[in-house]
Chains A and B, each alone.
Chain A
Amino acid sequence: MPNVRLEGLHKSYGDIKAADGLDLEVRDGEYLCVLGPTGAGKTTLLRMISGLLRPDKGRIFFDDKDYTRREIEERKAALLSQSYALFPQLTVEENIIFGLDIRGADEKLKEQVLISMLDLVRLSGRSKAFPGELSGGMQQRTALARALASGADLLLLDEPLRALDARLRISLRTELRSLVKSLRMTTIHVTHDQDEALVMADRVAVIREGRILQVGTPKEVWDQPATPFVANFVGQSNFFTGKVIQSSPYTLLRTPEGAVLKGRPSELPAGEEAVLGVKIGNTEISKERAGYLQAAVERVIFEGRNLHVDLMMDNGQRISAKIPSWRKGKVVVGDRTNVYWEESKGTVFPMPPGGLENELKVE
């Protein structure tokens, strides 16, 4: 239930900055996903909030009270680690009430909590089983029940679905979210999976190299990415470079080949080197309609709901488009096609100081 605020957190391991001035506010009862690649500092962030790790600098507030130096037990935060860390020699029910046991809770309370937790995670029939006898999904639910049974009101989830099969992961997304929401807990869920974050989160915080790049609703992060990295990490984008012609009421960019591209308004001065990013799902192709650019279809892959189309532009740059599957047969390898997008779907960024390629690196 608490509101959590992080102010300027720093944490270094030798030369590596796992947290490099982290600011983040998590609202009361909110489901917040922290999304970023491996090594971005996601686990460090959770460990600092839980009290397992002290920041080198910066402060942590729970409900506006400074908890930076408080003990783990005072924080009422439950951390569910990636590996679940269940005790293999204890049964499901012993695992779940472990926290209550060591705190010396009375039998009646333990009984009550146990029954409600088993019911909540649908494991009533398996309470006497050992973790090794359970499927991956059941182990995950046991670990969740144990975290919840500790009486915490802040839930910290470290890649809670990572160890599971892809298909199971998708089914458990909604289930996990509604379970936590029904308990009105404040949840911070870290993940490297952008689909997971978009589907589960009230708000998404994109993290990279120990810094938060953007915080917003899934729609804000998707439609109005703050940096080229965010544009490409959340949903894959095509990028085009050029010089700014104007930036209002919409931005115009001239490519080195002389094409003029349109995007949302920006604050870039005319003449500045810039990058325009468009999601591959918002990149439209058509033979009939005029486009900003021309390209040849190199490959068409059927992916169920969508076709994934790889295109070679006349300047030799490769781009992709995701289009609905009913267009199969109408988009054929070798076709020459025009490429366009709605102006609201193009975001224009200043050219990143380290170059575009460096900016887009996902590892």
Chain B
Amino acid sequence: MPEVKLVGIGKRYGSVVAVNSVDLTVHDKEYVTILGPSGCGKTTLIRMIAGIIEPSQGKVLIDGRDMTGVPIEDRDIGYVFQNIALFPHLTVENNVSYGPRAKDRPPEEQVSVSRRFLDMVKLLDKMQMFPGELCGGEQQKASLARALASGSRLLLLDEPLSALDSRVRVDLRYELRRLAKELGLTTIHVTHDQEEAQSVSDRIVLMRAGAVVETGSPEELYTRPKNIFTANFIGETNLLEGWVEEIRDGMSIIELRNGGKVQVNQTDQPLGDAVVISVRPEFVFPTDEGMKARVTHVTYMGTYWRVTATTEDEEDVGFDVATFDSNLLTIGKELYLAVNPKAAVLYPRPENGVEEAIKLE
């Protein structure tokens, strides 16, 4: 029943703070991703959980047991690296049975366990091959089978799909979640890819500059992000600046910098304050009044059209159109845009401006 608890854990390299005191509990059988841009500290964090990096402060508890000073091999974890780390001179089967063999399990068990997991990742027919004979996705599946065959109930995945082509990555992420759930594993998965995080997680921990920005389910972080960085990092959004002009009937009326006015079902920002609205492209629609804009770009997205329109204030607003409508999809076309008041989220204007608040690197 692995539960992982991080208590004020941090890592310093000289004066550089890689991770700055993180508290987090990952529950038994939960699938948690640690998501963030390059350099946010996510890799350092998972390596401290694994015991590859010694924390400068705080501690890691696995099932209530303090792991300080416990080496990786005694933490009972399955670990999958970004750069596939199979033994090149062993067959796929012998790679997978490595854990049971190292633990001196009986030979029949070594075979049955490795076959079981090879079957799960659909590599039974390639088990006599050497890693070099497999393609990237298959190699990573073999690494996963090896981690699972170790018998550990705690799986740590360090950017497991990053080295793969995007199309392969998409197929494997659904497979990863399926396996983790079928086996009832506690999983901690590090990634920089917000789409991957959304598809696999029960809960996402979003990091930036060594600290946790926000934690929540994929749905919470997409629909009601508490932080403007989250709103921009997870999914696509329009960030529009303005002022609270009026508050009435449970609604705020925002006068936008681009001249338009929009309503938002949220009243916690004071009258007159500078605010930022985050609204996703699927919740912006053309109408008779609202923000005046001119269509500047149209992209076919397969199941809808993504339109970019530029306001008189040179702000770009993206919105989606379900079916082809030459009235809307003509470059240069002038139109008015409104937002769905229920789906827009209001933030106080960040002190150092929006650009700084959402900066990725």
Q: Is the CB of A38 within 8 A of B198?
A: no
The stretch from A167-175, A240-248, A250-258 touching chain B is A167-175
Whether the Cβ atoms of A194 and B167 lie closer than 8 Å is yes
Please provide the chain B residues from 162 to 176 with a CB less than 8 Å away from any CB of chain A in the complex. 165-168, 170-171, 174
Kindly provide the distance from the CB of A41 to the nearest chain B CB, expressed in whole angstroms.
Answer: 14
Task: Decide yes or no whether A303 CB sits under 8 A from chain B.
Answer: yes
CB of A23 closer than 8 Å to a CB of B:
no
Closest Cβ of chain B to A182, distance in Å, is: 13
Asked if A168 and B360 sit within 8 Å, CB to CB, the answer is yes
Whether A362 lies near B168 (C-beta < 8 A) is yes
B234 x A195 contact (CB < 8 A): no
A167-B37 in contact (CB<8A): yes
Q: Please pick, from B168, B198, B233, B303, the residue contacting A282 in the complex, using a CB distance under 8 A.
A: B303
Question: In the complex, what residue of chain A is closest to B198 when comparing beta carbons?
Answer: A303
**Given A167-B37, A362-B165, A363-B137, A198-B192 contact (CB < 8 Å):** no
Q: Which residues A275-302 have CB closer than 8 A to chain B?
A: 279, 281-282, 299, 301-302
B218→A363 contact, CB < 8 A: no
Considering the chains assembled together, what is the distance between the CA atoms of A144 and B217 in angstroms? 38
User: Is the CB of B109 closer than 8 A to any CB of chain A?
Assistant: no
In the complex, the chain B residue whose C-beta lies closest to that of A326 is: B282
B59 within 8 A of A: no
Whether A136 pairs with B300 at a CB distance below 8 angstroms is no
When A304-B234, A305-B282, A362-B165 are in contact, do A166 and B302 touch as well, CB less than 8 Å? no
Flag if A168 contacts B138 (CB, 8 Å).
no
> Contacts A137-B360, A167-B192, A167-B360 hold; do A302 and B219 have CB atoms under 8 A apart?
yes
Query: A304 with B235: in contact, given A166-B194, A168-B37 (CB under 8 Å)?
Result: yes
| Interface residue ranges of B219-246 to A (CB < 8 Å) | 219, 222, 233-236
A53 interface hit (Cβ, 8 Å): no
- Interfacial residues of chain A within 138-177, with CB under 8 A of chain B in the complex: 138, 165-168, 170-171, 174
Bound-state CA distance A303–B174 (Å) is 12
Alpha-carbon distance between A171 and B222 when the two chains are bound, in angstroms: 18
The answer to whether B361 touches A136 (Cβ under 8 A) is yes
In the bound complex, do residue A194 and residue B166 qualify as a contact, i.e. CB atoms below 8 Å apart? yes
Query: Which residues from chain A contact B196 at a C-beta distance below 8 Å?
Result: 166
Per the bound structure, the CA–CA distance linking A299 and B303 in Å amounts to 21
* Least Cβ–Cβ distance between B142 and chain A, in angstroms: 13
- In the complex, whether B102 has a CB less than 8 A from a CB of chain A is no
- B184 contacts chain A at the CB level, 8 A cutoff: no
A38 to B166 CA separation, bound complex (whole angstroms): 10
Q: Is A135 a contact partner of B361 (Cβ separation < 8 A)?
A: yes
Nearest-CB distance from B33 to chain A (Å)? 13
Chain A, interface SS category: mixed
**B192: chain A residues within 8 A (beta carbon):** 165-167
Contacts of B361 in A (CB 8 A): 135-138, 165, 168
- Is the beta-carbon distance between B37 and A279 smaller than 8 angstroms? no
Tell me which residues from 219 to 268 in chain A have a Cβ below 8 Å from any Cβ of chain B: 219, 222, 233, 235-236
Give the interface size class of chain B: 35 or more
Interface residues in A164-206 (C-beta closer than 8 Å to B)? 165-168, 170-171, 174, 192-195, 198-199
- Give chain B residues whose Cβ lies under 8 Å from the Cβ of A192: 165-167
Q: Are A198 and B218 in contact (CB under 8 A)?
A: no
Decide: A222 near B165, CB < 8 A? Known: A304-B234, A362-B171, A363-B137.
no
Q: Nearest-CB distance from B271 to chain A (Å)? A: 32
Decide if A279 touches B302 in the complex (CB within 8 Å): yes
User: How far, in whole Å, are A125 and B169 apart by their CA atoms in the complex?
Assistant: 37
Decide: A198 near B360, CB < 8 A? Known: A38-B165, A166-B194, A167-B233: no
Complexed CA–CA distance, A217 and B195 (Å)? 25
Q: Which of A311-355 contact B (CB under 8 A)?
A: 322, 324, 328
For A217, list chain B residues within 8 Å (CB). Answer: 300
Residue contact A198 to B300, C-beta cutoff 8 Å: yes
Contact A222 to B38, CB < 8 A, known contacts A303-B198, A303-B218, A363-B136: no
B232 to chain A: closest residue by CB: A167
Map CB proximity to A onto B147-189 as digits: 1 under 8 Å, 0 otherwise.
0000000000000000001111011001001100000000000
Q: Tell me, yes or no, whether B299 is within 8 Å of chain A by CB.
A: yes
Contact of B302 among A138, A198, A324 (CB under 8 A): A198
Residues of A within 8 A of B217 (CB): 302
Q: Which residue of A lies closest to B300 (CB)?
A: A219
The reply to whether the CB of B199 lies closer than 8 angstroms to some CB of chain A is yes
**Smallest distance from the beta carbon of B288 to chain A beta carbons, Å?**
23
* CA distance in complex: A218, B298 (Å): 12
Give the complex CA separation of A136 and B192 in angstroms: 14
- Report the nearest A residue to B162, measured CB to CB: A166
* Docked-complex contact B360 and A165, CB < 8 angstroms: yes
Give B303's nearest chain A residue, CB to CB: A281
Tell whether A21 is near chain B: CB-to-CB under 8 Å: no
Residues of chain B within 8 A (CB-CB) of A305 are 235, 280, 282
Assess whether B16 is interfacial by the CB under 8 Å rule: no
CA distance A362 to B169 in the complex (A): 10
- A308 CB-CB contact with B under 8 Å: yes
Knowing that A136-B361, A302-B219, A363-B136 touch, tell me 12 more A-B residue pairs with CB under 8 angstroms: A37-B168, A38-B135, A165-B37, A166-B195, A168-B37, A198-B299, A218-B299, A218-B300, A222-B300, A302-B222, A303-B218, A362-B168
16 A-B pairs (CB sep. < 8 Å): A37-B167, A135-B38, A138-B361, A166-B192, A170-B236, A194-B166, A198-B301, A199-B299, A222-B300, A303-B218, A304-B195, A304-B280, A305-B235, A328-B219, A362-B137, A363-B138
7 closest A-B pairs by CB: A363-B135, A166-B193, A281-B303, A135-B361, A304-B235, A192-B165, A165-B192
